[in-house]
Structure 1
Amino acid sequence: MTQQALLSNARLYLCTDSRADKGDFEDFVDAAYAGGVDIIQLRDKNLEAAEELERLEVLQAVARRHGRLWSVNDRADIASLSGAPVLHIGQKDLPLPSARKFLGNDAVIGLSTHSTAQIDAAVSAAAGPGGLDYFCVGPVWATPTKPGRAAVGLDLVRYAAAASAAGETDGSTLPWFAIGGIDLGNVEQVVAAGAQRIVVVRAITEAADPAGAAKSLLEALDAGPS
């Protein structure tokens, strides 16, 4: 299956640090994929470049066994060196055209958005070769993984759903994910607001059973709002 096809089918995206305090990175990402996670991003600001590349080798090997995607956060140079299929960038990171110079048009590139204007720009940036491949909307709720970032609330999720549908081309819409403080206790609200894909951190990284947590989140996504 191509990277674009894997992205199109993706529902559950996980961001995790290197789990240096637990020493179980390989086992953890293996369990997360086994539970149904579609994309895993290594996001650890404490890693030096060489350490990040070492962890990404592990992530790549596990992702390949499961036939899933893996992602690099922010660094197009690291994504290029590691052969990452996915790069995620923020609003203040390397611009999309510059990231494409590193990675070419085959790589999947996603962008964080935090406002209606940024969502509109993301939808517009999806057109043509080398365009944006997906975007994230959030943080829906305040989260310690993004200190100082104000919550955007469910209204922005509703806006993203409408904007993505309005930007539909060739019978398809630009994939987008809701992110920020999402867990099993509130995922139904996000789905009711129009999200079909989510990014989580603590809902799986802090779970005693990562595979079980992933399965439960996917079941909630599939069930939809009650």
Structure 2
Amino acid sequence: MNLRDALKLYVIPDSRVGAPRSIEEQAVLAIDGGATMIQLRNKEMSGRELYETACRLSSLCRRRGAAFVVNDRFDIALAAGAHGVHLGKEDLPVGVVRKIVPTGFLIGATAHSIEEGREAEKQGADYVGIGAVFPTGTKNVVSVIGVDAVRAIREALSLPSVAIGGINEENAAEVLSAGVDGIAVVAAVVGRQDIAGAARRLAEIVFRGKP
């Protein structure tokens, strides 16, 4: 897997934003439209529900050629055969998880600042998710950092990177101009009536090349 390519259009299905479609249906439609990576992020599911959903997503992503990661829970990611995990500030440190998981298992980490990005890189993260770029309604975001900060964090690191937070068709090109490898979205794809079409339009912006 080429990680920089896998990060180009990173879609996070959401049971609330994407309702009434299931997480799996949202993922299928997003991949049909060009999503290159899917993340399972759900704070409400029990461990068993999360595991069963992760297994289904892992299978469908592998069949369709998309990368698949689980948010927070590296144990669920490992058990379900995911490509990796994405860790936030409240999760186990990257360095701890790196010692547990097998070689080749992806670890992504959230970076709101240069310091957080450098720490993630030092501990062995494979990529960083930088943001929130803009205000977003899908997550309680304390820190909105803007495009200039995304550029500064990206330039301070050698890791592949994806920007996240309030990104849509109108501002995606501006975000990509900061030099990130891709964009991560929720509502801009799974919150639309035509999920595949929304993913396709964003994919066209991403793959047309950075301005």
TM-score, normalised via structure 2 length? 0.90
Question: Which residue of the partner structure matches residue 172 of structure 2?
Answer: 187
Query: Aligned in 2, Cα 1:200/1:21: closer, same or farther, shift over 3 Å?
Result: closer
> Residue type matched to 1:9 in 2?
D
Establish whether residue 47 from structure 1 lines up as the match of residue 45 from structure 2.
yes
Shift of 1:207: 1.1
Larger radius of gyration: 1
Count of residues in Structure 1 that have an aligned counterpart in Structure 2: 209
Question: Which residue of the partner structure matches residue 109 of structure 1?
Answer: 107
Question: Which residue of the partner structure matches residue 14 of structure 2?
Answer: 17
- Kindly indicate whether the alpha-carbon contact (under 8 Å) linking 2:11 and 2:185 is maintained by their aligned counterparts in 1: yes
* RMSD of aligned Cα (Å): 1.9
CA–CA distance in 2 between the matches of 1:97 and 1:123? 10
Query: Aligned in 2, Cα 1:213/1:161: closer, same or farther, shift over 3 Å?
Result: same
Query: Aligned in 2, Cα 1:53/1:225: closer, same or farther, shift over 3 Å?
Result: closer
Q: Runs ≥4 in structure 1, deviation > 6 angstroms? A: none
- 1:119-162 deviation digits (Å, cap 9, x = unpaired): 2223334xxxxx21100110001112221422011121111232
For 1:120-135, what aligned pairs fall within 5 Å after superposition?
120-125=118-123, 131-135=124-128
For 1:70-149, what aligned pairs fall within 5 Å after superposition?
70-125=68-123, 131-149=124-142
SS in structure 2 of the partner of residue 16 of structure 1: coil
Shift of 1:224: 4.5
| Structure 2 residue ranges without an equivalent (≥5) | none
CA–CA distance in 2 between the matches of 1:21 and 1:161? 34
CA–CA distance in 1 between the matches of 2:67 and 2:162? 15
- Kindly indicate whether the alpha-carbon contact (under 8 Å) linking 1:184 and 1:203 is maintained by their aligned counterparts in 2: yes
Establish whether residue 34 from structure 1 lines up as the match of residue 32 from structure 2.
yes
TM-score, normalised via structure 1 length? 0.85
CA–CA distance in 1 between the matches of 2:92 and 2:50? 18
Shift of 1:26: 2.6
Larger RCO (CA within 8 A; separation ≥ 6): 2
